[in-house]
DNA sequence: ATCAGTTTATGATATATATCAATTGGTCGT
DNA sequence: ACGACCAATTGATATATATCATAAACTGAT
């Protein structure tokens, strides 16, 4: 019926639109915009008005806030399935954080007002959004606590395992972020991130080829992540 | 009509039930249970099944998770108006954190299934819950970032200002938590929390009478909170 | 091809924080 | 009143992390 939502790989449709009537889908699909971003492009800029409901179709992004002194704190890395604009989209009028593509990314953007209309008229859809949002914020909060309880080496191990297990599912991967960004994520200095990586390399736990990482001793990394 | 929801001071009713029909209110009020807790009582225990939607009517609580090594990490202190069970209530079947009263507290507990039914049937109610939840998780996330970017003294200043501004609205107040709990909240050791407080006292910024704190130099505290 | 700027890297040192030890005072239960 | 346990405190010391300086490798723009 509606050409515009015939995206083969759109999990958004599969996940949430099961319970939305075709009328409602039609109205959403009419205003739907797909956008492509290159590495380094802003998807969301802190402070800007929230007018869209943004779903990450492909790629990888970082969520971060910029402090008064221009320093950045990275909250989380988000991959497809995640609603990158979900955190404050229903409570604020302006974004309190930025989202930037760290790999080539595609988003599907819906008008926030259209989404709100459907929430108001469709309880099942509202519940799905509520569950998804609850999941996303839960994950961000837990992530932050997990990082906080570790020391430098534990944090680095945790980050490497995060990329290994949750993002690339492979012992060999290209780090999509700089050492500086890892530092901004775990709340330590760039130098110490580098030192910890070097240490892991010297201990034979990982191999480093510039941005590429190979995890050699997975179990040791798990151990480091668990006990400093 | 329904005696049981005639709680004079129930902001829950005022805030959210404006848009709920009296039928729906009736059904909720029928199953509503009010509970009292003393300081130190568990309101929610990590790992237990989620069966209730819990609203804090009065008092003060702490949200925390207990790690495998029995150490606690405090996420946040919540005061009335906050939905203490809100964080994972719609995404998980079991609580991933605990909530404990740190002052005498009263909660109003509704069956989670009743609340879900209303969400399904009432879009405006769903939207209100969504907004509230978005606000709560936003606040917890921002709090965590705020703490993370400060050093010891900055964190202590931040905590004192939090109690001063957000909880007691008074330069003189009784700390509802131990030094150890402050440490668990800001992610530093108890000894260093004490040392920082002592330092502030020696510098004439605060006065300490056991658990009671008097803020003498508010501006210096703000300065410390902003620039280490 | 070159320059400027950034990223990665390493070392020396300063600083912040944790750990360990010891003391005091309070609280709880018996 | 007693002992057992915690909370708060302070000092000495160890450890972890940040800061500062330097340099090589890389990146992008002209």
The residue written with tokens 């039930």 in the block is B17
- Interatomic CA distance for residues B69 and A26, integer angstroms: 52
For chain A, what is the largest distance between any 2 Cα atoms, rounded to a whole number of angstroms? Answer: 60
Res. B193: pLDDT tops 80: yes
Using only C-alpha atoms, chain A has a radius of gyration, in whole angstroms, of 19
Query: How much of chain B, in percent, has pLDDT values that exceed 70?
Result: 87
Res. B81: pLDDT tops 80: no
| Residue A69, pLDDT score | 82
Helix (H) or strand (E) holding B27: helix B22-31
Mean pLDDT of A43-64: 92
**Which residues on A lie below 8 Å from B127 (Cβ)?**
90, 116, 119-120, 126
DSSP state of B18: G
Count how many residues are written for chain A: 228
- Interatomic CA distance for residues A134 and A89, integer angstroms: 13
Nearest-by-Cβ selection for A88 from B88, B123, B134 = B134
Using only C-alpha atoms, chain B has a radius of gyration, in whole angstroms, of 19
End-to-end CA distance of chain A: 56
Span of A23-32, A165-174, A190-199, B94-103 with lowest mean pLDDT: A23-32
Span of A180-189, B63-72, B196-205 with lowest mean pLDDT: B63-72
More confident residue, A184 or A90: A184
| Residue A123, pLDDT score | 87
The average confidence (pLDDT) of chain A is: 88
The average confidence (pLDDT) of chain B is: 88
| Tokens linked to B100 | 């404990």
Write phi, then psi, for A49 (nearest 5 degrees): -70, 145
| Residue B145, pLDDT score | 95
- Interatomic CA distance for residues A22 and A2, integer angstroms: 9
For the ranges A127-136, A182-191, B21-30, the one whose mean pLDDT is highest: A182-191
DSSP state of B170: S
| Residue A1, pLDDT score | 41
| Tokens linked to A157 | 């191990």
Q: Which of B69, B98, B145, B186 to mutate to test the interface with A (most CBs of A within 10 A)?
A: B145
Write phi, then psi, for A55 (nearest 5 degrees): -115, 130
Q: Tell me if residue A211 falls in helix, strand or coil.
A: coil
Asked whether the beta carbons of residue B141 and residue A144 sit closer than 8 angstroms, the reply is: yes
| Residue A18, pLDDT score | 66
End-to-end CA distance of chain B: 56
- Interatomic CA distance for residues B65 and B74, integer angstroms: 7
- Interatomic CA distance for residues B205 and A108, integer angstroms: 52
- Interatomic CA distance for residues B7 and B16, integer angstroms: 14
- Interatomic CA distance for residues B50 and B96, integer angstroms: 10
- Interatomic CA distance for residues B61 and B66, integer angstroms: 16
Smallest CA–CA distance from A124 into chain B, residue: B120
Q: Which of A76, A138, A225 to mutate to test the interface with B (most CBs of B within 10 A)?
A: A138
What's the pLDDT band for A137 if we cut at 50, 70, 90? confident
Q: Are strands A172-174 and A105-111 parallel, antiparallel or unpaired?
A: unpaired
Identify whether the C-beta of residue A118 lies closer than 8 Å to the C-beta of residue A125. yes
Res. B1: pLDDT tops 50: no
- Interatomic CA distance for residues B212 and B140, integer angstroms: 26
Identify whether the C-beta of residue B215 lies closer than 8 Å to the C-beta of residue B171. yes
More confident residue, A64 or A30: A64
**Which residues on A lie below 8 Å from B145 (Cβ)?**
65, 73, 75, 144
| Residue B3, pLDDT score | 47
Report pLDDT digits (tens) over A66-101.
Answer: 988 889 999 999 887 777 677 788 888 999 999 999
State how far Cα A128 lies from the chain centre: 19
What's the pLDDT band for B5 if we cut at 50, 70, 90? low
Res. A23: pLDDT tops 80: no
- Report the alpha-carbon angle A187-A188-A190, nearest 5: 125
B190 CA to C20 C1', in Å?
A: 14
Span of A105-114, A119-128, B27-36 with lowest mean pLDDT: B27-36
Mean pLDDT of B98-102: 94
What number of other Cβ atoms are within 10 A of residue A68's Cβ?
A: 6
Report pLDDT digits (tens) over B9-41.
Answer: 666 666 665 666 667 777 777 778 899 999 999
- Helix/strand/coil percentages in chain A, nearest 5: 45, 25, 30
Asked whether the beta carbons of residue A130 and residue B133 sit closer than 8 angstroms, the reply is: yes
Write phi, then psi, for B206 (nearest 5 degrees): -135, 165
Which nucleotide's C1' is closest to B198 (Cα)? Answer: D9
Report pLDDT digits (tens) over B157-184.
Answer: 999 999 999 999 999 999 999 999 999 9
Mean pLDDT of B220-228: 90
């Amino acid at each position: 019926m509606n050409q515009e939502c015939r995206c083969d790989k759109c999990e958004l449709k599969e996940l949430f639109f099961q319970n939305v009537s075709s009328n409602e889908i039609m109205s959403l699909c009419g205003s739907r915009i797909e956008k492509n971003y290159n590495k380094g492009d802003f998807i969301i800029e802190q402070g800007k008005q929230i007018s869209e409901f943004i779903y990450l179709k492909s790629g990888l992004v970082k969520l971060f806030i910029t402090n008064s002194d221009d320093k950045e704190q990275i909250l989380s890395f988000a991959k497809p399935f995640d609603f990158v604009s979900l955190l404050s989209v229903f409570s604020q009028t302006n974004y309190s954080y930025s989202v930037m593509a760290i790999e080539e990314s595609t988003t599907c953007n819906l008008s926030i007002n259209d989404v709100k209309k459907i929430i108001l008229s469709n309880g099942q859809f509202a519940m799905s959004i509520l569950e998804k949002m609850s999941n996303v914020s839960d994950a961000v909060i837990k992530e932050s606590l997990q990082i906080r309880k570790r020391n430098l080496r534990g944090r680095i191990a945790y980050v490497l395992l995060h990329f290994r297990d949750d993002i690339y599912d492979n012992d060999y991967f290209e780090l999509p972020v700089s050492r500086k960004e890892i530092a901004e994520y775990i709340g330590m200095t760039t130098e110490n991130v580098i030192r910890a990586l070097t240490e892991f390399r010297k201990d034979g736990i990982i191999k480093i080829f510039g941005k590429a990482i190979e995890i050699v001793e997975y179990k040791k990394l798990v151990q480091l992540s668990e006990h400093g």
